[in-house]
Structure 1
Amino acid sequence: MGKEKKEKRKSEGGEEVEEKDGKEAWIEKTKYLSPISKPLAPRKLTKRLYKVIRKAQSKKNIVSGIKFVQKSIRKGDHNGIMILAGDVSPIDVISHIPVLCEENQIPYCYVPSKTDLGAACGNRRSMSLLIVKPNKDYEELFEECKSEVENLPMPV
């Protein structure tokens, strides 16, 4: 088929470390998913979601953290996309959120890594969940992601 893509980079210690290409990294991240993390966003949708998150963060249109997300849902902010991390441990911390989303017709999906979710927000800390709200500046990308998230197969 084709050659494997591996990039060499310098680690903090100074030695060279090989990085895996996209598919191998994706498989590595999906190893640590919890059993309830369905619907999981595919690789391309995950990249687009991270892009929307970066744009929304610059406009301050993100609600992050369990406490603030619950408050936002209770108040009735129903026009965003809920994004949850699939590797949260213990999973009991966020296991009630999908039920709230389904009751309030909020589209939601899981992404494989909480560290990548935090990095997309420009934060060094990992994030377990967040809501991305729409804005005029990234409206087209937001609507595209929202429709794809709504079309993901829901768990039975």
Structure 2
Amino acid sequence: MTEADINPKTYPLVDAYLTKKLLDLVQQSGNYKQLCKGANKSTKTLNRGLSAFILMAADNEPLEIILHLPLLCEDKNVPYAFVLFTQTLSQAFGVSRPTNSCPVTIKEGFRLKKQLQSFQQSIERLLV
């Protein structure tokens, strides 16, 4: 996938450095059971107010499966971002099947809270 192949609807698309940091946080969140997988779970966590932020894959086919999530995120005031590939998102999640979206949830006593807040701020800066 090249820059020309990227759909303009996948905004904000994070750069390689921030992608690596975000996927590390996703992997750590998975160890603390703070992670869900898929568009349906993303919608549920957003509606319940449990999402800290949501990562989505830009190469999802068809893209319309996850295009309701940015609108819902903006409505619920939850930061969101797109990474380039579904495969990198699923590897960070620890599964072999492609993952189109991944919400990181908030629970009491969340140990990665400071990292989460800094990433929320960096994702919000991308949206501006």
- After TM superposition, the score normalised by the length of structure 2 is 0.88
Q: What is residue 120 of structure 1 aligned with on the other side?
A: 92
Q: 1:105 aligns with which of 61, 77, 80?
A: 77
What count of residue pairs does the alignment treat as equivalent?
126
2:126 is paired with a residue whose SS is coil
Q: Say which is worse superposed, 34-43 or 48-57, in terms of deviation.
A: 34-43
- How big is the shift at 1:70? 1.1
Contact 1:81 1:146 in 2 (8 A): yes
- How big is the shift at 1:46? 0.5
Counterparts of 1:62 and 1:32, CA distance in 2: 29
- Aligned-pair RMSD on alpha carbons? 1.7
- Answering whether residue 103 of structure 2 is matched by residue 131 of structure 1, we say yes
Larger Rg: 1
Q: Where does structure 2 lack aligned partners over 5 or more consecutive residues?
A: none
Q: Say which is worse superposed, 113-122 or 59-68, in terms of deviation.
A: 59-68
Counterparts of 1:112 and 1:32, CA distance in 2: 11
How do residues 2-151 of structure 1 correspond to structure 2 at under 5 angstroms? 28=1, 30=3, 32-78=5-51, 80-134=52-106, 136-151=110-125
Counterparts of 2:14 and 2:119, CA distance in 1: 10
CA offsets 1:110-136 (integer angstroms, 9 cap, x no match): 000110000001111111001113464
- After TM superposition, the score normalised by the length of structure 1 is 0.74
Report % sequence identity: 24
Counterparts of 1:132 and 1:31, CA distance in 2: 29
Q: Where does structure 1 lack aligned partners over 5 or more consecutive residues?
A: 1-27
The higher-RCO structure (CA 8 Å, 6+ apart) is: 2
